[in-house]
Structure 1
Amino acid sequence: MLQFPLWKRLLITGVTAVILLMAMPNLFYPRVERHNDALKTIETSGETPELAADVAGWPSWLPSSLVNLGLDLRGGAYLLADVQVADVYADRMDNYWPEVRDALRDERDTVGAIRRIDAPVGELQVRIGNPDGMARALEVVRGLSRPILTLTGAGAQDIEVSGSGDVLTLQLSEAEKRATDDRTLQHSVEIVRRRVDEVGTREPSIQRQGDTRIVIQVPGIGSADELKSLIGTTAKLTFNPVVNRTTDPDANPGARNLLLPSMDDEGVYYIIEQTAVVTGEELTNAQPSFDQNGRPAVSFQFNPSGARKFGDYTRDNVGSPFAIVLDNEVISAPVIQDHIPGGSGIITGQFSIEQSNELAVLLRAGALPAEMTFLQERTIGPELGADSIEAGRIATIVAFVAVLAFMWMSYGLFGLFANIALIVNVGLIFGLLSIIGATLTLPGIAGIVLTVGMAVDANVLVFERIREELKTARGPARAIELGYEKALSAIIDANITTFLTAVILFALGSGPVRGFAVTLGLGIMTSVFCAIFVTRLLIAVWFDRRRPKTIEV
């Protein structure tokens, strides 16, 4: 109806005003950005006069959500990393060895003595003392396998066991390798995201690409080298029994042992057992702290499983050294003084405060399940982003002016109503982007420019229908009412098909395509809202005031 009830007028006006209010901080982007950054810094590091001034630069009672700028607009770092998934196979076999050893020990009368021997990466080979017991050994080890709970690997087992002579070989099945690869990539993406989020960067884009690669884009970071130092460390923490200590870098560690350098004492090496007692995966928390001498350290806490294993080992090995190993370096090898039942402890070493903070971040975020090899790296300067913003701004202004001029010249006063709704429409897009915390990229600006051109399509359909109704000698009010009613189905049909296209682009596309799809989808929703409600409300208010006998569209 042309006559809007009061509740509907208030609802349309209220929704529009709230969303435009959410868009307003983007007009003062640098000031609001300093305000938000200062608040986050105060929460973590305390207040300073400079931070207090930045906080006071924007009223706390106003919204402060901003549209995040993507890598191509803000500058930052880009990395393409390849995850070495084969490393995980070797770790899985190492983890299987204690189970295989204990199971075969129970069958010693049949299989004889057992000994693990060197094998290719991803395989576990065990030599048994009695080759005639191979059939029983195979049966026992196959009983350790577990079913794979995936759609593609339904009914399959996670390991394959074979025997030749007196050597039993165990390796992951092909179905388990595929499942392991998928879990490794998902885990790596999540760990990288945690590490990047720890340093407070805005809206990083971390996505899987193909079977073994990850694309990492972090706006606002200084360089690709800085990003690599943050995420490139595996941060693999283990607690291993110490066999010996030496100064010979070429010393033979022996079977199933490792020779690792000391992080603190240059020229000192530790021979440790390869099988860890507890790993960093069982950590639940890590925080920077200080030891009893006031030196920077890192305190940690294990989960119940890790706490039990840590407690049992310290109870049974009082007086023995215990190596804390980080990325194949012994950072500390303290002697166990007493039973530690609580599953908590402290990592000491020659740390600076910054190093202890960084180590705590890495351990808290978790260890990367496999090493990453960086295939591509780029640093995008903020100057390029500024040029992109300027180009996008010019394109938007040109499109805006052209559309405004066309609508005014074509439809006169009604075109002016459509132009007001178009300005409101762009404000609504930025308001919604701020509300959902979306990231604006250069393709996203292209989506906004496209929306500016498409936004008036609905008004064109309505105005042309009003022209047709006026030709049938209907009154102005009835012509406007029928124009909106008869154009509504065409407006909805046209915009639904375009919105479905945006949804498909978002679901199947990569980062830049998704940025375009988000702004296009939001633009479609705001365009329909403005055409059906905002423009119609403007015409209704004007008609109530003027009561014209005739109108020209």
Structure 2
Amino acid sequence: MLQMPLWKQILIWALCALGLLTAAPNLFYNRVEQHNDAVAASTKAGFETDAQKADIAGWPSFLPSGIVNLGLDLRGGAHLLAEVQVGDVYKSRMDAMWPELRRALADARGEIGGIRRMPSDPTILKVQIEKPEGMARAVEIARGLASPVVTLTGVGQSSLDVSVEGDALVVQLSAAEKTATDDRTMQQSLEIIRRRVDAAGTREPTIQREGADRILIQVPGIGSASELKALIGKTAQLTFHPVLGRGADGNEIARPGEVILPSLDDKGVYYRLDATPVVSGQDLVDARPDFDQNGSPAVAFRFDTTGARKFGEYTANNVGQLFAIVLDNEVISAPQIRSAIPGGSGQITGNFTVESSTNLAVLLRAGALPAKMTFLEERTIGPELGQDSIDAGRIAAVVGMIAVVALMIASYGLFGVFATAALMINMAMIFGILSSIGATLTLPGIAGIVLTIGMAVDANVLVFERIREELRTARGPARAIELGYEKAMSAIIDANITTFITAAILFFLGSGPVKGFAVTLVVGLVTSVFTAIYVTRLLVVLWFARKRPKTITV
């Protein structure tokens, strides 16, 4: 007998209702968007303006408020493709190393004689040694300035390559250190750009690494590419302050000459700091992951001459006190001064992993872009063009829907009507899932949805054709329907698994719009299989239980 357990019917209807409920906010897009923006702004500021209260009241708080975010090609905005000049970092590292190497070689002047920096490639440090017999000693000193490469693939390797060319000592970054430096430079550039863009309150920006040294930046809703470039070029505020106290009250009134700032990592923790910084990020030369004397991950940093003097004097007079590192008015770390640091170089130690020490180094260096960025591609997409894309996508979806519905009803009659109802539920569930995960919809994403409309009825076609075959064997209609679903299941699963694999490859190997297409395709696969196998079957079961037909026509 054709039937379905009551618990399964309730579960199917519940999932359909959930899909419809989560998709509903997209029908009131502007109201929900204004509600969400007002909630986010008031939460960040800690109070609500009258306009924000009106926007928040515009959508009931007990209803879902997730909506599908519109991508750059639908909302309009700015697109940039930037190339990071990683070679600038190599030059900075060598320029910063020269004073340190010069002092170390000067201490052995009796063995190696006079020294002089020779003209060379900016990424190489070449030093002329007066006494050839002292070259071995000079090489030993230079190698002593190297440190272990702090990456999983560079464990056990040195950060410097030291060689000899005639009477010259040649120092440069090792291949492993260059790779690690490139990764840190790109991470730092990504972090700086993301912080700058996020601070502007833009919606769902795309900021991702492209290849070895390029960054793709897409920001919907921003006025122009030139405005985006100006936004990225802002300088982060990095400062180092004495810590006067620590507490959990963010509303405490700061005394004159003091500031109260929140901790970046420890939510609910606030630091009371001296408003005048000891040193600022402008005095910071370098910050990189390192290991402490116990072999535990740490972060090494170095100031320039002015910063080293100020930092050395302060640490000598405040051993045992906390020292806050502040980035954009948030305390990212507050280590304890364990001893005087007269040379301008020091370590931040704590319960770090290699990953967390690397991230902290990135934050420390996020006061300015580490290297020059060359913009290879830039374009501005106006909101009118985005609206045109939305209209074109809507027309394509409606035309595709009408064509599929007409074909299904003409081919399968009442069963085609069941498939059409399931298709409508399928579309709602797609938007419900995309809204719940905060996905960004692009024009290729709309193409994925339109493609899903055609694919959504494919499983129903397989089932209905199989039912036709079973009806020809003179079995009863109930048995024919049961066998139709059972025997079509393997073909449905095979077809969708192969499509899922293709979509997964597109997602992991593609970027930007390609990923958007893959996401909507995968979501559409899941919902279409659910609606075709379960929703359509449930509609057939309910109809059959009510009508009890002796024969059926598919």
Report the TM-score range of the alignment, normalised by the length of the smaller protein.
0.7 to 0.9
Report the equivalent of 1:19.
Answer: 19
Q: CA deviation at 1:307?
A: 11
Is contact 2:162-2:170 (8 Å) kept? Answer: yes
Greater Cα offset, 508-517 or 437-446: 508-517
CA 1:182–1:2: 2 relative to 1, 3 Å: farther
Report the equivalent of 1:91.
Answer: 92
CA 1:304–1:152: 2 relative to 1, 3 Å: closer
Matched, 1:121 2:122: yes
2-side partners of 1:95 and 1:33: how far apart?
Answer: 49
SS in 1 for 2:209: strand
Mapping 1:59-458, distance limit 5 Å: 59-97=60-98, 99-101=100-102, 103-112=104-113, 114=115, 116=117, 119-128=120-129, 130-146=131-147, 148=149, 157-164=158-165, 166-233=167-234, 235=236, 278-279=284-285, 313-314=309-310, 317=313, 342-344=322-324, 366-458=367-459
1-side partners of 2:96 and 2:444: how far apart?
Answer: 47
Is contact 1:311-1:339 (8 Å) kept? Answer: no
> After superposition, what is the alpha-carbon deviation per residue over 1:360-381, rounded to whole angstroms, capped at 9, x for unaligned?
xx98964322121112211111
Report the equivalent of 1:518.
Answer: 519
1-side partners of 2:410 and 2:79: how far apart?
Answer: 47
Q: CA deviation at 1:84?
A: 1.0
Q: CA deviation at 1:157?
A: 3.9
Q: CA deviation at 1:528?
A: 0.5
2-side partners of 1:47 and 1:238: how far apart?
Answer: 30
Is contact 1:237-1:279 (8 Å) kept? Answer: no
Is contact 1:421-1:535 (8 Å) kept? Answer: yes
Q: Structure 2: any 5+ residue segments left out of the alignment?
A: 241-280, 289-297, 328-362
CA 1:465–1:315: 2 relative to 1, 3 Å: closer
1-side partners of 2:326 and 2:397: how far apart?
Answer: 57
CA 1:34–1:422: 2 relative to 1, 3 Å: same
CA 1:316–1:189: 2 relative to 1, 3 Å: closer
1-side partners of 2:381 and 2:545: how far apart?
Answer: 55
2-side partners of 1:155 and 1:54: how far apart?
Answer: 58
SS in 2 for 1:464: helix
2-side partners of 1:151 and 1:35: how far apart?
Answer: 45
CA 1:125–1:365: 2 relative to 1, 3 Å: closer
1-side partners of 2:82 and 2:189: how far apart?
Answer: 10
Q: CA deviation at 1:99?
A: 4.8
Is contact 2:188-2:366 (8 Å) kept? Answer: no
Report the equivalent of 1:485.
Answer: 486
Letter of the 1:19 counterpart: G
Letter of the 2:550 counterpart: K
Q: CA deviation at 1:89?
A: 0.1
Letter of the 1:26 counterpart: N
Is contact 1:128-1:168 (8 Å) kept? Answer: yes
Q: CA deviation at 1:508?
A: 1.2
Letter of the 2:323 counterpart: G
Q: CA deviation at 1:107?
A: 3.3
Q: CA deviation at 1:127?
A: 4.2
Is contact 1:78-1:224 (8 Å) kept? Answer: yes
Report the equivalent of 1:32.
Answer: 32
Is contact 2:25-2:67 (8 Å) kept? Answer: yes
CA 1:236–1:96: 2 relative to 1, 3 Å: farther
Q: CA deviation at 1:5?
A: 0.9
CA 1:116–1:342: 2 relative to 1, 3 Å: farther
Report the equivalent of 2:356.
Answer: none
Is contact 1:311-1:343 (8 Å) kept? Answer: no
Per the normalisation by structure 1, the TM-score is 0.77
Letter of the 1:450 counterpart: L
1-side partners of 2:312 and 2:499: how far apart?
Answer: 69
2-side partners of 1:144 and 1:461: how far apart?
Answer: 71
CA 1:304–1:168: 2 relative to 1, 3 Å: closer
**Pairwise CA RMSD:** 3.4
Letter of the 1:67 counterpart: V
Q: CA deviation at 1:502?
A: 0.7
1-side partners of 2:299 and 2:58: how far apart?
Answer: 47
Greater Cα offset, 391-400 or 367-376: 367-376
SS in 1 for 2:375: strand
Is contact 1:191-1:367 (8 Å) kept? Answer: yes
Report the equivalent of 2:57.
Answer: 56
CA 1:527–1:189: 2 relative to 1, 3 Å: same
Report the equivalent of 1:2.
Answer: 2
Per the normalisation by structure 2, the TM-score is 0.77
Letter of the 1:23 counterpart: A
Q: CA deviation at 1:481?
A: 0.5
Give aligned-pair identity as a percent: 64
> After superposition, what is the alpha-carbon deviation per residue over 1:240-269, rounded to whole angstroms, capped at 9, x for unaligned?
xxxxxxxxxxxxxxxxxxxxxxxxxxxxxx
Report the equivalent of 1:299.
Answer: none
2-side partners of 1:315 and 1:438: how far apart?
Answer: 46
2-side partners of 1:100 and 1:390: how far apart?
Answer: 64
Report the equivalent of 1:459.
Answer: 460
Is contact 1:315-1:339 (8 Å) kept? Answer: no
1-side partners of 2:42 and 2:87: how far apart?
Answer: 43
1-side partners of 2:200 and 2:550: how far apart?
Answer: 65
CA 1:179–1:101: 2 relative to 1, 3 Å: same
Letter of the 1:139 counterpart: E
Is contact 2:83-2:375 (8 Å) kept? Answer: yes
Letter of the 1:141 counterpart: A
> After superposition, what is the alpha-carbon deviation per residue over 1:296-327, rounded to whole angstroms, capped at 9, x for unaligned?
xxxxxxx9966999998437558xxxxxxxxx
Q: CA deviation at 1:148?
A: 4.6
SS in 2 for 1:551: coil
> After superposition, what is the alpha-carbon deviation per residue over 1:61-89, rounded to whole angstroms, capped at 9, x for unaligned?
00101101110000000111111111110
Q: CA deviation at 1:468?
A: 1.2
Q: CA deviation at 1:167?
A: 3.6
2-side partners of 1:179 and 1:418: how far apart?
Answer: 55
2-side partners of 1:315 and 1:447: how far apart?
Answer: 57
SS in 2 for 1:206: strand
CA 1:172–1:58: 2 relative to 1, 3 Å: same
SS in 2 for 1:217: strand
2-side partners of 1:365 and 1:379: how far apart?
Answer: 27
